[in-house]
A and B are shown apart, each in its own frame.
Chain A
């Protein structure tokens, strides 16, 4: 009884109260022991729980509490000291742990709470991102729409389709209520409603262009929000709806002329159209920035597409115009050709028809002159003859001139006596000149060739014309005719810079000067002289008659003869000089070697540039030809050996021979083979003689063959002395020579 430290229980041990306490304590203990087990089980399950050791602490606290309650069960009755100690230990421990836990919880709960807030925050963020994603997607889709729209717009070149498509697509992309396009009228003072989305054929509303709101839109390149009440935005029938927001943008109308410069054209003075877009009413939708940008981009694209369409229209128009012009020109050409043909036919007929009666008149009048006539009759007949001669000349001139103009006239070239032509002219002009008491003198230069190649008849006509003009326009004094071969200085006339006479070996230039002491011509009239039908106005000339065609015809003839004709005069009353230069051929020089013009003396001088002692081998089957070639070479001082066959040639040829001349045109003897054998015989290059082929004709085949067998040159027969000389000098100097023709 001495160790019982408990107070005498107030109630008996097995009273009901005691029983209930007993049971409750038991159950508490049970619970206290099972809770940690459950905790451990769940913590094991979750890997993320950050406060494990808190749980351990908590578990310990619970276990100890349970233990305390369990031990409490023994204290209801009398118990020993050990039990008391155990009880106390348990209680102490429990107290410690529970206090620790309490302290710990103070730390932990805020953390746990903050985790909660963070979670809320993240959830909000996620929601926001979702919203933004939605927005971006919408934008991207809009971008795609724009591209598609642009593609649609650009795929057609028809203006109407472009605009209609624009409106339709924009309406669809942006889900617009209404979309309209106002175009400027022709006067430029009003805007007319041209296209709308929902009305196929809009009534032609017009709005003056100078409204402030319109100016505002036109002055900015961005889309501008405008009030739904302004005139351009009143597109829907007024209703009980609250109209949606309206935006307007300008569309520049570019012209072809805008694209002259390479950089983007100035839009300052250009015309604009107005595009108005209306959001659906009652939707509380706002215009987003990206939607406005889209509208601006589309407006620009539309502008470009419209200008392309305009350019295309213009170019089609231009092409049509050109085609029309072409057709017209073609027609004109055909008409001109018909006219020319008609004229030529007419002339051809007239030629014959006119000349025949003329001829009859002249012939019979001259016959009549021969008969017995009274003085009056004679006078009459002479007048008839003179007039008919004049008429005949006129007809001839006109016919000649037309054939000259057509370019159908060709010179008839032949060898003729130049001196005889001048003598003939003199004979013809003498009677007329002597009647007028004019003295005519003829001066032919000594170096003037006696024979020349040209059109004798027309040359005579030219000289005669010029001389008769001189006679016609001189009342007194003298006429002098000079003719000489023109050298280069006298060939050029400073007044005719386009006349470039080219002296050559086969031709010479004949210069004829006819000087008269007559009435002269004033300098300003000179250029008129050669125009058809133009006459100078002085009374003296008007009386002399003439058609005014003479000099024009002379000019044509002189031009045909590759020459030039002009008149010099110092003025009225001082006479004038007619000068012409024509190109005439030198006979005998056309396709053969040049005739030697040098006298014998110079050939001996030239033969000093010869080839003394040069050993030459000549192979030619033809005896005469061989002799001539030998003569040539001997004349040049060479030492000539003659052979007439290939074998002989090869036998005789040695390294002393410097040149071998082979005739390759002889049938039966192969000159080429000979050349090849010579090549084989002389292997050292410097020992081999130079091989030259003589041939009667040149063509590519012979050329190629000669080159193939290794010949050093070709000479065309017949060979002149000069040619042989130059051939040999070229050969010895250059060791090769090609195509001496």
Chain B
């Protein structure tokens, strides 16, 4: 596949991610911050996000498994996760976290477990999508082309 085609595929894929709500404007901000002095900024941030989130999700699972759930701690974790996801623009993960926090306030264990499932789902989806995106970028770079700058006309 030649570079032009790959670039077009990347553009379409990215666009679809935005359309479907996986990513929002914040992600574009990150891409803006990437330049010659900082060529892998986005990848680094997103990797950090993945590591952080895995840990947080584990902690959350453990916390909600307890017989006496410490909702304060759960809330703190979810807050962290919300913060991270909004910083990189993972919109659906962030929205799921917001819903989660509401149930934490109500101290509803059942609902919290459901939300946790939801968050995990969204997170893995987002992780998949982002990893595919990075793979595409890598392919383009390997083929000698440059990653096209996202210029969304909206």
Q: Is B109 an interface residue (CB 8 A)?
A: no
Please report which residues of chain B, range 1-41, place their CB below 8 angstroms from some CB of chain A when the two chains form the complex.
18-19, 24-26, 28-30, 32-33, 35, 37-38, 41
- The answer to whether A631 and B38 touch (CB under 8 A), given A595-B25, A622-B84, A624-B49, is yes
Q: For the complex, what is the distance from the CA of A603 to the CA of B87, rounded to whole Å?
A: 21
Q: Is B45 an interface residue (CB 8 A)?
A: yes
Please report which residues of chain A, range 422-467, place their CB below 8 angstroms from some CB of chain B when the two chains form the complex.
449-451
Q: Is B80 an interface residue (CB 8 A)?
A: yes
Partner of B18, one of A588, A593, A624: A588
Residues of A within 8 A of B76 (CB): 667-668
Residues of A within 8 A of B152 (CB): 588, 595
Residues of B within 8 A of A594 (CB): 25
Q: For the complex, what is the distance from the CA of A14 to the CA of B48, rounded to whole Å?
A: 187
B76: min CB distance to chain A, Å: 5
Please report which residues of chain A, range 693-741, place their CB below 8 angstroms from some CB of chain B when the two chains form the complex.
696, 717-718, 720-721
Please report which residues of chain B, range 108-154, place their CB below 8 angstroms from some CB of chain A when the two chains form the complex.
149, 151-154
Are A595 and B86 interface neighbours, CB within 8 A?
no
Are A586 and B154 interface neighbours, CB within 8 A?
yes
Q: For the complex, what is the distance from the CA of A635 to the CA of B42, rounded to whole Å?
A: 13
Are A625 and B18 interface neighbours, CB within 8 A?
no
Residues of A within 8 A of B44 (CB): 627
Are B25 and A593 interface neighbours, CB within 8 A?
yes
Q: For the complex, what is the distance from the CA of A451 to the CA of B28, rounded to whole Å?
A: 18
- The answer to whether A624 and B29 touch (CB under 8 A), given A600-B149, A667-B79, is no
Are A624 and B75 interface neighbours, CB within 8 A?
no
Residues of B within 8 A of A604 (CB): 35
Q: Is B60 an interface residue (CB 8 A)?
A: no
Partner of A635, one of B35, B48, B153: B35
Are A635 and B38 interface neighbours, CB within 8 A?
yes
B-facing mask of A591-633, CB < 8 A → 1, else 0?
0111111011001100000000000000001111101100110
Q: Is A589 an interface residue (CB 8 A)?
A: yes
Q: Is A54 an interface residue (CB 8 A)?
A: no
Between A592, A596, A718, the greatest number of chain B beta carbons within 10 A of the residue's beta carbon is seen for: A718
Q: Is A587 an interface residue (CB 8 A)?
A: yes
Residues of B within 8 A of A666 (CB): 79, 83
Are A624 and B84 interface neighbours, CB within 8 A?
yes
Q: For the complex, what is the distance from the CA of A621 to the CA of B19, rounded to whole Å?
A: 31
Q: For the complex, what is the distance from the CA of A720 to the CA of B32, rounded to whole Å?
A: 10
B-facing mask of A622-654, CB < 8 A → 1, else 0?
111101100110110000000000000000000
Partner of A622, one of B72, B83, B149: B83
A-facing mask of B76-110, CB < 8 A → 1, else 0?
10011011101111000000000000000000000
Q: For the complex, what is the distance from the CA of A589 to the CA of B18, rounded to whole Å?
A: 12
Residues of B within 8 A of A720 (CB): 25-26, 29
- The answer to whether A623 and B86 touch (CB under 8 A), given A593-B29, A721-B29, is no
A630: min CB distance to chain B, Å: 10
Residues of B within 8 A of A625 (CB): 83-84, 87
Please report which residues of chain B, range 39-65, place their CB below 8 angstroms from some CB of chain A when the two chains form the complex.
41, 44-45, 48-49, 52
Residues of A within 8 A of B41 (CB): 631
Residues of B within 8 A of A635 (CB): 32-33, 35, 38
Are B87 and A624 interface neighbours, CB within 8 A?
yes
Q: For the complex, what is the distance from the CA of A604 to the CA of B149, rounded to whole Å?
A: 14
Are B88 and A592 interface neighbours, CB within 8 A?
no
Are B32 and A721 interface neighbours, CB within 8 A?
yes
Residues of B within 8 A of A600 (CB): 149
Are B83 and A596 interface neighbours, CB within 8 A?
no
Residues of B within 8 A of A415 (CB): 19
Are B25 and A624 interface neighbours, CB within 8 A?
no
A585: min CB distance to chain B, Å: 9
Q: For the complex, what is the distance from the CA of A597 to the CA of B28, rounded to whole Å?
A: 11
Q: For the complex, what is the distance from the CA of A603 to the CA of B52, rounded to whole Å?
A: 31
- The answer to whether A717 and B86 touch (CB under 8 A), given A588-B18, A592-B26, A631-B45, is yes
Which bracket fits the contact residues of B? 35 or more
Are B48 and A589 interface neighbours, CB within 8 A?
no
A401: min CB distance to chain B, Å: 33
Residues of A within 8 A of B19 (CB): 415
Residues of A within 8 A of B32 (CB): 596, 603, 635, 721
Between B48, B72, B75, the greatest number of chain A beta carbons within 10 A of the residue's beta carbon is seen for: B48
B82: min CB distance to chain A, Å: 8
Partner of B30, one of A597, A622, A631: A631
Are B38 and A627 interface neighbours, CB within 8 A?
no
Residues of A within 8 A of B89 (CB): 718
* Chain B: CB-nearest residue to A667: B76
Q: For the complex, what is the distance from the CA of A118 to the CA of B37, rounded to whole Å?
A: 137
* Chain A: CB-nearest residue to B85: A624
Residues of B within 8 A of A586 (CB): 154
Are B28 and A667 interface neighbours, CB within 8 A?
no
Residues of B within 8 A of A593 (CB): 25-26, 29
Residues of A within 8 A of B30 (CB): 628, 631
Residues of B within 8 A of A622 (CB): 52, 80, 83-84, 87
Q: For the complex, what is the distance from the CA of A621 to the CA of B77, rounded to whole Å?
A: 12
Q: For the complex, what is the distance from the CA of A75 to the CA of B154, rounded to whole Å?
A: 172
Q: For the complex, what is the distance from the CA of A621 to the CA of B79, rounded to whole Å?
A: 11
Residues of A within 8 A of B84 (CB): 622-625
Residues of A within 8 A of B25 (CB): 588-589, 592-595, 720
* Chain B: CB-nearest residue to A633: B33
Between A451, A599, A603, the greatest number of chain B beta carbons within 10 A of the residue's beta carbon is seen for: A451
Are B88 and A628 interface neighbours, CB within 8 A?
yes
Partner of A451, one of B87, B151, B154: B154
Are A628 and B45 interface neighbours, CB within 8 A?
yes
B35: min CB distance to chain A, Å: 7
A446: min CB distance to chain B, Å: 10
Are B153 and A450 interface neighbours, CB within 8 A?
yes
Are B153 and A449 interface neighbours, CB within 8 A?
yes
Are B29 and A718 interface neighbours, CB within 8 A?
yes
Q: For the complex, what is the distance from the CA of A587 to the CA of B89, rounded to whole Å?
A: 16
Are B86 and A588 interface neighbours, CB within 8 A?
no
Q: For the complex, what is the distance from the CA of A290 to the CA of B84, rounded to whole Å?
A: 104
A718: min CB distance to chain B, Å: 5
Q: For the complex, what is the distance from the CA of A718 to the CA of B27, rounded to whole Å?
A: 11
Residues of B within 8 A of A599 (CB): 149, 151
* Chain B: CB-nearest residue to A666: B79
Residues of B within 8 A of A588 (CB): 18, 24-25, 152, 154
Residues of A within 8 A of B24 (CB): 588, 592
* Chain A: CB-nearest residue to B80: A622
Q: For the complex, what is the distance from the CA of A633 to the CA of B150, rounded to whole Å?
A: 21
Are B154 and A449 interface neighbours, CB within 8 A?
yes
Residues of B within 8 A of A450 (CB): 153
B12: min CB distance to chain A, Å: 12
Q: For the complex, what is the distance from the CA of A600 to the CA of B37, rounded to whole Å?
A: 15
Please report which residues of chain A, range 389-420, place their CB below 8 angstroms from some CB of chain B when the two chains form the complex.
415
A-B CB proximity, top 3 nearest: A624-B84, A625-B87, A622-B83
- 6 A-B pairs besides A635-B35, A668-B76 with CB distance below 8 A are A587-B154, A592-B24, A592-B26, A625-B84, A635-B33, A721-B33
Question: Which A residues lie at the B interface, using CB under 8 A?
Answer: 415, 449-451, 586-589, 592-597, 599-600, 603-604, 621-625, 627-628, 631-632, 634-635, 665-668, 696, 717-718, 720-721
12 contacts between A and B (CB under 8 A): A589-B154, A596-B29, A597-B151, A597-B153, A622-B87, A623-B84, A624-B84, A628-B33, A631-B30, A632-B29, A635-B35, A717-B83
